[in-house]
Each structure stands twice: as structure tokens, then as C-alpha cells.
Structure 1
């Protein structure tokens, strides 16, 4: 049975509670999940159903912290098949280059300026780590601002690309040997099998008062989306199920999930002052974008909407 390629999580990966319940379940080789996998992975490379036969997509909800998580997740072998074979790195990179315009890089620059301004230090004195760096654009942007920029990644092709662009690469075991002012995790924690242990590991490499950023998909209305059950809904639409994408987005965080994780990792939430956010706005390309940029600090600092959170090391 192909279930041997999966690992069953016995407790909530965010708060370690053993109290959780199943909210949705479907075999991977049956509709609608099988249809979704074909539609999603075929344009990127392929899908190998021989590794999925007999296995099920099981969504669970933690009774303590509210985390939505996939109970059965790919083991290391299947993860490698998924990210390096089902998803063809060259196809993805070509698409990546074609669709990343000035606005994409401008957002990186704006965020990095916010962080440097918060520390009030010369950029050359700051150590930044991009954990799960992908193709390394964020790390490269931090390097361009003068920061000591490091990257960490599992994909061999992405690592080689980053090295060619002068990014210093460190592996998982080397991380605690360093002391970072800032660690960036952009669209990473939703993919991680053990997010609490990962957060602790990263926290151990932060300087006192160092900062770690987590940005992950946000779907407070996921129960309603699951009722509609439209796996063909476009990413970003109100019915999109991408936040719980089978095999990849194995964790969907709630605010209380992060709160409990942060306490156990010796971290506390930090708000970048609105003054700094407004001072380094970069997108003035039209009325709608200006309005969105002006409202974003209020949305994040006052309403605390979205899963875009900064944490400071407090012990």
C-alpha cells in the first residue's frame, strides 16, 4: 500500500495537543482531490498516483489552538519527489522569471527598509537569514542593502542558483551556530511538518531582541470554503482552497496557534511602528495601490488582520 510514503501526525504540530478532530477526508486517488492534483501539478511537471494509492487527505482541527492541519503528510522521500520531480524546477523558474515584475521586487525592498529602519543600525552590521529562501531574491535584496545575507533551503537547484548570486548558504544543523538580527520566513511555515520545533530551532539563533517574521496563507473562513468545496476556484478568490492545498500546505494557522508557539519558543509579537511603515512606502502606482499601501499598516497594526507577523526574542 502506498500509505508507507506518509507519516501520521499524532498531535497538533503547533501546540502539541493530542486533542483534535477530523473536519474533512477524501482518498487521494478519488475525486475531487485526484482531479485537483492533476489540474495543479500537470502544468508544473507531473503527478505520480502510484505513491498515493490507499492514502487519504485528512484535514484535522486542533481543539486547543485551532490549527487546521493535514494529519497524514508525505515522508521525506515523497516530499523530495513532490518538490523536485512533480514540480519541475526549470519549468517553475521560467514561470517565476516571466511573472515577477517590478512590483514584486519593490515589496521586498520596502520590507527590508522597514526592518533596517526599526533596528536603527548600519545595514552592514546586521545579519539576516532567509529561511526557505526559494530562488533567493529576498536574500539578494537584503545583500544589496548592505546586510550580511544568509539563506537556507532544501532544493539543490535553488541552492545552486543562490550561490551563483553570492548568497551564503547554511544548512539546518548550522543555524544555531549563528546569531541573527532578523530571520525571514515567507510562505514557509505552512509547508513544515514540525512548525513548533522549527520555530524553537530558529529562535535559538536570534540575538536578544532579534526579530523573526512569519508570513503564511490567511483563511479565517476556511470552514465556509470547505462547505463550498470548489477545488477549481482561483487562488485569492473567496472560495479558494489553496490555503489547505493537499500535500503542500499541511498547516493553516490561526492567531492563537502562533501565540502558543511563540510562548514556547521564547518569542513575543512585535509591531513595526506605523511611522516606519509609512516612511518607506514604495508603491505609488495609481489610486488603488496608493490606498492599499496607506491602509496596510492600519490593517496589520490596529486590526491585526492577516497572517503576517513579526516576533521578537524576549529570552
Structure 2
């Protein structure tokens, strides 16, 4: 396994230029092959064309976030998500996912300055449905058309948008934005978060979850971490890295909630 200092592309989280190469693609393939889902993960990466580039895994020396280098391009990601394997799981567990989102949103709803809610990377829109049940006018945006259609059939009172943030009207703003396990999928998280912030009304709240590359329960051998699943996950953040990213995007009051599992739960606010 590699552990070489390098000066590769800047960190997608904090923009620092120095990183260490902690593993090669072959290291990940070897670890993945021993997992139950490993053959499927390896086959998906190969089908996208990304595996052929044999990327390395870099750890930022400043914020300690871990990211793929080089990052996948739009064509490779489109090929990977063409038949995304998790949509069926979301449909089968729809009400369970609504219940979990309901608890999260109910705890924070008093902090939203209004009633417009957006779930980003929504899949079937369980978060948006939970928000609707809590009195919000809810929108779910999801690039996978199949997942969006499944959500529309399940939760017909939610507004479902099959597309990207760019498909929303530029002036459309929301009071509560919900992103569960989304940011780790994004190869340009700063551009993405700036666009998210542009759709937040003054004082709007953002709630996000993502794997935690810096949690005390994250394996020292990061290749054995179950959330290391390229190219589905392209950046695994630490709290330091995610704070830097959100603040670079213009958000403030970045606060992390304690979590016994190796995952981040964070809130942030759009400046008035």
C-alpha cells in the first residue's frame, strides 16, 4: 500500500495542495474482493470505464479528507449511475426511510425561516415526503429518472424533479435543504455547494450526512472502510474538510452532531 507524499490536484474539500497517496487502485480491488458486495463494486467500476485509469487514493495533509485522483469525469459517472443498484433498496424500505428523515427534520424545522423544502440527491424522495408530512411544501430532485419516477408513484404529493440542480430555476430558493449521503458522490464539491447555497433563502438551514474519514471508528486501513466504494464515493470528508468546504461556499454556523457510527451529521446556515 502506498504512502507517498505528493503534490497532486488540490483537495476537493479544503483546496490544500499537498496530499499523501495512501493506496493504489489495486489495493482497493484486493480489499473489495474479500467483501460480500466486492465483486459487484469492482464490476460497476469497470463498466463505467473509470477503473481502466487506475486512480490513486489521496489523503489531504491539511484536512485529512480522502479523495480519488484523478477524479472521475462526467461520462464515467453517467455510465456508473445508468443502472444504479440501490434504487430497489430505497423502494423496499421507503417508510423506514421516511420515518428516519421525519425525526431529523422535525428536530430542526423550527430553524427554517419558511416552509419551502428541497431534498437533493433524493432518490425516491423519502426526505421530501417526511417534510411534506411536517407541513413543508416539498421538492425532491434526483438525477436518476428511474428513481425519480419510483418516488413519484410512492409520494405523489411531493414535487419530483428528475435532473440536476441546474434544472431548477436560478431564482428558486428554499428554507430547508436536506442532503443525505450526497456530497461524497460529487467530484467538484465546491462548485456543487456554491450552487446549493444559491438556492438557499436568507437564513435557510442545510442538513447533510456523509461518511466520516476522520471518525475514531473509521479503520486505519481506509481501503477496508465500507464507505470506500469508488467511483460511487469520490471524496470521503473529515469534519475539518467539510467545515472548510461549507465556509468556502458561503455558509456559516457549521455545526456537527455527535455520532457513534463513522458518519457526519452537520447543519449550516445561509447568511442573511
Note the C-alpha offset of 1:12: 1.3
Give the TM-score normalised by the residue count of structure 2.
0.80
Judging by fraction of residues, say which structure has more helix: 1
Q: Which has the larger radius of gyration?
A: 1
Gaps in structure 2 of 5+ consecutive residues:
1-7
Equivalent position to 1:259, from 230, 243, 249: 243
Give the TM-score normalised by the residue count of structure 1.
0.70
Match of 2:189 in 1: 195
Query: Does 1:111 find its partner at 2:104?
Result: yes
- Alignment partners' CA distance in 2, 1:215 and 1:224: 16
- Alignment partners' CA distance in 2, 1:37 and 1:140: 34
Q: Deviations over 1:86-119 (max 9, x none)?
A: x34xxx44433444564x4322111221222334
Alignment length (residue pairs): 258
Gaps in structure 1 of 5+ consecutive residues:
1-8, 231-240, 273-296
Equivalent position to 1:49, from 42, 46, 49: 46
- Alignment partners' CA distance in 2, 1:201 and 1:223: 32
Query: Does 1:167 find its partner at 2:158?
Result: yes
Note the C-alpha offset of 1:134: 1.0
Q: Deviations over 1:216-245 (max 9, x none)?
A: 012425897253854xxxxxxxxxx12222
What's the Cα RMSD here?
3.3
Q: Deviations over 1:137-166 (max 9, x none)?
A: 111121222211112111011122233423
Within 5 Å, give how 1:222-237 maps onto structure 2: 225-227=219-221, 230=224
Equivalent residues of 1:175, 1:202 under 8 A apart = no
Q: Deviations over 1:32-67 (max 9, x none)?
A: 05726994363x995473635642241111223222
- Alignment partners' CA distance in 1, 2:197 and 2:89: 34
Judging by fraction of residues, say which structure has more strand: 2
Equivalent residues of 1:214, 1:308 under 8 A apart = yes
Question: Following TM superposition, where does structure 1 have runs of at least 4 consecutive aligned residues deviating by more than 3 angstroms?
Answer: 36-42, 44-50, 92-102, 221-224, 226-230
Match of 1:292 in 2: none
Query: Does 1:158 find its partner at 2:151?
Result: no
Equivalent residues of 1:26, 1:33 under 8 A apart = no
